[in-house]
Amino acid sequence: MKEEIPVSEQLKKKYHKTEEVTNFKDMLYRSGDIYRSRTAFKMKDKDGKIYGITYAEFKQDVVNLGTSLIKKGFLGKRIAVIGKNSYKWSVSYLAAAIVGIVVPIDKELHTDDVINFMNVSQCVAILGDDKNLDNVLENISKVENPDTLFISFDKEDTKYCFSKLLEEGKNLYNAGFTDFDNIKINPDELRILLFTSGTTGNAKGVCLSQRNICSNILSTYGIVKVKRNDLFFSVLPLHHTYECTLGFLLPIYSGASICHCEGLRHIVSNMQEFHPSVILCVPLLLEKMHKSIIKNMNKSLPAKFVKSEGNPYHDLPFVLKKIVRTKVKNTLGGRLRVFIVGAAAVNPNIAADFRSLKLNTLQGYGLTECSPLVAGNTDFFQRDDAAGLPIPNVEYKIENPNEEGVGEIIVRGPNVMLRIL
């Protein structure tokens, strides 16, 4: 009898082709060269006008900031980043990870926890929003390193602020101080240190290499096509690997664009301003969107099609369905094509409802320790009631399952962390 080939093996022939990168510096320089004139980030100025930052500009900003950090003696040192999702956060993350070890910290943490993570990780500097930095500075006696450099994203009139470091780095680089270009990165050494409570309730320092994260980027790109004209709408916190790897680094590798949500209450207005095509979200956000869509659908439909329970869309005539789909899509900015959903299980009915509206919903499973994606639904295989298949180059199994199939998930692959701090 002919041996049956597993579904995962059958699908490998269909994967999107990738170009290997193993570290952030190579990825940054590659994208800065290939996508030089393309828009990397869409931003809003003080007057609310949208403008773009090209890949060439983004690369140079990272180089300039990194150059300034090197000049201050931070090569190989641990550098924290804290604050809301922003272009400055993104530049700081990459510069810190290339120059030394980046320590992304949750901006919502209590100040004592922020200081504890700074102390445990032995940070020499922290870049971030004034709100977060000021809270730490008010408790500076608790910071073990008295020479810690505080670099503000917001202030322009202080000695150490983001804008001044960029300018300083630019001048140094143009004058011939090109040490940043000469950095050699070992892709298998610690370069990203993340603190996560996990399921134990005790904060752990998860040690990741750049190969860990780059492997996850390539595996994801192989199974979920990212188009160069895609615009990723960044809603979830960037200090999490979920948003950082898939909502920031993946589009940078792919030549797509990124815009940042200004806050949860601005989601709808921001979507209509930026017109995103891809959103990373959690099931709760998807459920709220679904509830709002159904509510508005019932308000606008003729009385005979209104439903007190369930989705009225499925019973609509073809022509009306097309009109409803267009209206729904327009409320979400007009270009949205896919939701990438993680952190918890998605209601299969909600996923199916969005797909009927021509809005694809791909859910997956991951964890910080795996950079983060382990399994996911893809362009080639989808099941709304499951987290999907293992991503390329990753294996997993259920260890010692009980009668219901529940057991410990064991993962093996290049995305698995180095160790716990």
Domains of the chain as residue ranges with CATH: 8-226 (3.40.50.12780), 257-420 (3.40.50.12780)
C-alpha triplet 251, 387, 191: angle, nearest 5°: 45
pLDDT score, position 9: 77
Task: Return the exposure string of 95-108: e unless at least 16 CB atoms fall within 10 Å of the residue's CB, then b.
Answer: bbbbbbbbbbbbbe
Q: Return the residue matching tokens 């922020």.
A: 114
Output the average pLDDT for the chain.
95
What average pLDDT score do residues 291-313 get?
91
Q: Is the pLDDT of residue 200 over 60?
A: no
Q: SS3 letters for the chain?
A: CCCCCCHHHHHHHHCCCCCCCCCHHHHHHHHHHHCCCCEEEEEECCCCCEEEEEHHHHHHHHHHHHHHHHHCCCCCCEEEEECCCCHHHHHHHHHHHHHCEEEEECCCCCHHHHHHHHHHHCEEEEEECHHHHHHHHCCHHHCCCCCCEEEECCCCCCCCEHHHHHHHHHHHHHCCCCHHHHCCCCCCCEEEEEEECCCCCCCEEEEEEHHHHHHHHHHHHHHCCCCCCCEEEECCCCCCHHHHHHHHHHHHHHCCEEEECCCHHHHHHHHHHHCCCEEEECHHHHHHHHHHHHHHHHHHCCHHHCCCCCCHHHHCCHHHHHHHHHHHHHHCCCCCCEEEECCCCCCHHHHHHHHHCCCEEEEEEECHHHCCEEEECCCCCCCCCCCCEECCCCEEEEECCCCCCCCEEEEECCCCCCEEC
327: phi then psi, degrees, rounded to nearest 5: -65, -45
Q: Is the pLDDT of residue 3 over 80?
A: no
What average pLDDT score do residues 17-44 get?
98
Q: Which amino acid is at 130?
A: D
Token pair, residue 61, equals 């900003």
What average pLDDT score do residues 119-126 get?
97
CA within 13 Å, CB half, 34 = 13
pLDDT score, position 201: 59
Q: Quote the CA–CA distance of 168 and 149 in Å, as a whole number.
A: 16
pLDDT score, position 4: 76
Q: For the segment 377-405, what is each residue's pLDDT rounded down to a tens digit? A: 999 999 999 999 999 999 999 999 999 98
Q: Quote the CA–CA distance of 27 and 241 in Å, as a whole number.
A: 17
Q: For the segment 172-192, what is each residue's pLDDT rounded down to a tens digit? A: 999 999 999 999 999 999 999
Q: Quote the CA–CA distance of 396 and 370 in Å, as a whole number.
A: 11
Confidence of residue 196 (pLDDT cuts 50, 70, 90): confident
> Which class for 45: exposed (0-12), middle (13-18), buried (19 or more C-beta within 10 A)?
exposed
Of 161-170, 201-210, 279-288, the poorest mean pLDDT is in: 201-210
pLDDT score, position 2: 62
Q: For the segment 238-286, what is each residue's pLDDT rounded down to a tens digit? A: 999 999 999 999 999 999 999 999 998 999 999 999 999 999 999 999 9
Q: Quote the CA–CA distance of 368 and 298 in Å, as a whole number.
A: 40
CB 205 within 8 A of CB 104: no
206 C-beta neighbours (distance < 10 Å), count: 23
Confidence of residue 298 (pLDDT cuts 50, 70, 90): very high
Q: Which amino acid is at 368?
A: T
